[in-house]
Copies of this chain bind each other. A is one copy, B any other.
Amino acid sequence: MGNYAIAIHGGAGTLMPGTVSPEKEKEFHDKLSESLQAGYNILSKGGSAVDAVEAAVRVMEDSPLFNSGKGSVFNSDGINEMDAAIMNGKNLKAGAIAEVHTVRNPISGARAVMEKTKHVLLASAGAEKFAKEMGLEIVDPSYFYDEERHQQWLATKDTDSPNSWAGDGIPEGTKKYGTVGCVALDNQGNVAAATSTGGINNKKFGRVGDAPLIGAGTYANNKTCAVSCTGEGEYFIRNVVAYDISALMEYKGLTLAQATAEAMKKVALLGGEGGLISIDNQGTICTPFNTSSMFRGWINTAGEKFTGVFR
């Protein structure tokens, strides 16, 4: 235990209890635990919140279980197209990349934008060129291929239903707003947030969601909190959800629990589904969602560890 804590998510969705095989559910818990531990080990050695959130997200990006990095969903052209963002609450520096197909760990690409450029958001071919020049690991697009995701895409590519999600141990028709994210507080009092996603299965026309947009899906500010969102990204953009939580705390004096509840209420009012993870500058963690499931986990300031899938 210490003055540091971490929370992660692996995406909100409409999985129902009892419909996922026990083996599959255990796989999710194990990988969430591994991701948490990767970030927490950094924090417990006095490392920075930025290092911790990047490390935790990389574990999920490297796993085909989650819709980010390897295992990302396919767009309407049958290609994996990824977005990511990171923000440092200490100095409000932020970086993001959108529509990349060759950067093995998009979250590290986002971090390079934050630390090596004056820019915040780089997109598509330019972002890939930048990542390569920075010496980040570049892979052939086939690296991101996952058989289950591909079958899911094949089943939906000629339909108007872009977002169903099925596979080994997962029932047909399940909607999943796949995205991964991490928020952390380090023992210097700094918060950080990171989000990474493959977007929506069968997405068209270069659609970009909330994940790489600072203030929408990702935000961090030492004055208040750090937030990473998952869900129907458009509703999170229109409500500027991640920054709204910070503003509700700073300007109205709400607690993190009150601010996140209010922000989720506003998403639901527009008709949106999803969830978020958040941590304030005292280490309080809130992980609200209005879907039936959200892959999530945390290790709090008391050192207690939790991983969960359903309510």
Contact = CB atoms under 8 A, between A and B. Distances in A.
Interface of A: 92-94, 98-99, 117-127, 129-130, 204-209, 213-216, 219, 233-234, 237-240, 243-244, 247-248, 251-252, 270
Contacts of A214: 213, 216, 237-238, 240
Contacts of A270: 92
Contacts of A219: 240
Contacts of A121: 207-209, 213, 237
Contacts of A93: 238
11 contacts: A118-B234, A120-B234, A121-B237, A122-B208, A129-B205, A214-B216, A215-B237, A219-B240, A240-B243, A243-B244, A251-B251
A72 B151 CA distance: 43
Contacts of A243: 215, 240, 243-244, 247
Q: Could you say how many copies of this chain the assembly holds?
A: 2
Contacts of A237: 94, 120-121, 214-215
Contact of A126 (B94, B206, B248): B206
B213 A122 contact: no
Contact of A124 (B123, B130, B204, B239): B123
Nearest to A214: B237
A191 to B, nearest CB: 15
7 pairs of A and B residues whose beta carbons are closest in the complex:
A126-B206, A251-B251, A215-B240, A247-B247, A126-B205, A130-B205, A240-B243
A126 B240 contact: no
A270 B88 CA distance: 14
Contact of A122 (B94, B206, B216, B247): B206
A233 B94 CA distance: 12
Given A214-B237, A243-B215, A251-B248, A123 B99 contact: yes
Contacts of A129: 205-206
A251 B247 contact: yes
A185 to B, nearest CB: 20
A238 B244 CA distance: 13
A238 B193 CA distance: 13
A119 B127 CA distance: 22
Given A123-B124, A247-B244, A92 B205 contact: no
Given A92-B270, A251-B248, A234 B119 contact: yes
Contact of A216 (B119, B215, B239): B215
B215 A119 contact: no
A247 B219 CA distance: 15
A189 to B, nearest CB: 19
A238 B221 CA distance: 10
A122 B248 contact: no
A293 to B, nearest CB: 22
A206 B127 contact: yes
